[in-house]
């Protein structure tokens, strides 16, 4: 019996690095219930694989752009969006966002872009999770004194494909180029 226990422990020790190395693309996004009550506008979207499949079923296959979008959806497993707008500056704390941002420091996550404007208290952070040279996830965090948005896409996605996804699913994603341009001014 002791030998079997030792083998199980040894196997668990050997497998732990493998399991730990496989980074999860789905972030643990808080519900932000306390912030939703303070917000003048809040968006909480969670699209599961089944819902994404259903959305793809309603896309018309007659034009090339729609076919491309349908193929894009086939690579996506989930979409999570949290967005909050407030009537006053700093109605939320940096800790609310830092808890999500800390998840993006794990293995596999690569920061594509970080734009910080200290005077305006504006930040844009864009990350991608790459595993075996394949994109497995995408994360975008934008924050300003009166608003913040967190987007997490699980699955294979190209940043250039985000506008297509936004149009066909009628999502209100922040304009990345506009956010980047406003921070650089």
Res 12: pLDDT: 39
Looking at 71-80, 142-151, 154-163, which range is the least confident one? 154-163
Domain coordinates in residue numbering, the chain? 27-184
Q: At 62, is the secondary structure helix, strand, or coil?
A: coil
- C-alpha torsion angle, residues 56, 57, 62, 64 (rounded to 10): 20
Residue range 43-84, pLDDT digits in tens: 999 999 888 888 888 877 888 777 877 888 888 999 999 999
User: Highest mean pLDDT: which of 93-102, 150-159, 166-175?
Assistant: 93-102
Residue (of 152, 129, 134) closest to 142 by Cα position: 152
Q: Rounded to two decimals, what is the model's pTM? A: 0.74
């Amino acid at each position: 019996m002791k030998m079997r226990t030792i083998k199980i422990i040894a196997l668990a020790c050997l497998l732990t690095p493998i399991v730990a190395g496989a980074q999860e693309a789905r972030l643990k996004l808080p519900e932000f219930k306390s912030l939703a009550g303070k917000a003048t506008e809040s968006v909480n979207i969670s699209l599961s694989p089944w819902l994404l499949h259903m959305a793809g079923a309603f896309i018309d296959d007659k034009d090339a752009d729609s076919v491309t979008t349908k193929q894009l959806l086939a690579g996506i497993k989930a979409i999570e969006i949290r967005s909050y707008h407030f009537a006053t500056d700093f109605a939320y704390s940096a800790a609310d966002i830092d808890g999500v941002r800390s998840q993006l420091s794990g293995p596999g996550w690569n920061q594509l872009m970080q734009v910080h404007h200290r005077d305006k208290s504006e930040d844009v952070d864009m990350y991608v999770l790459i595993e075996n040279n394949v994109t497995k996830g995408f994360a975008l965090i934008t924050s300003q004194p009166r608003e913040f948005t967190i987007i997490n896409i699980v699955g294979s996605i190209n940043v250039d494909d985000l506008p297509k996804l936004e149009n066909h699913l009628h999502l209100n994603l922040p304009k990345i180029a506009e956010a980047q341009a406003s921070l650089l001014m």
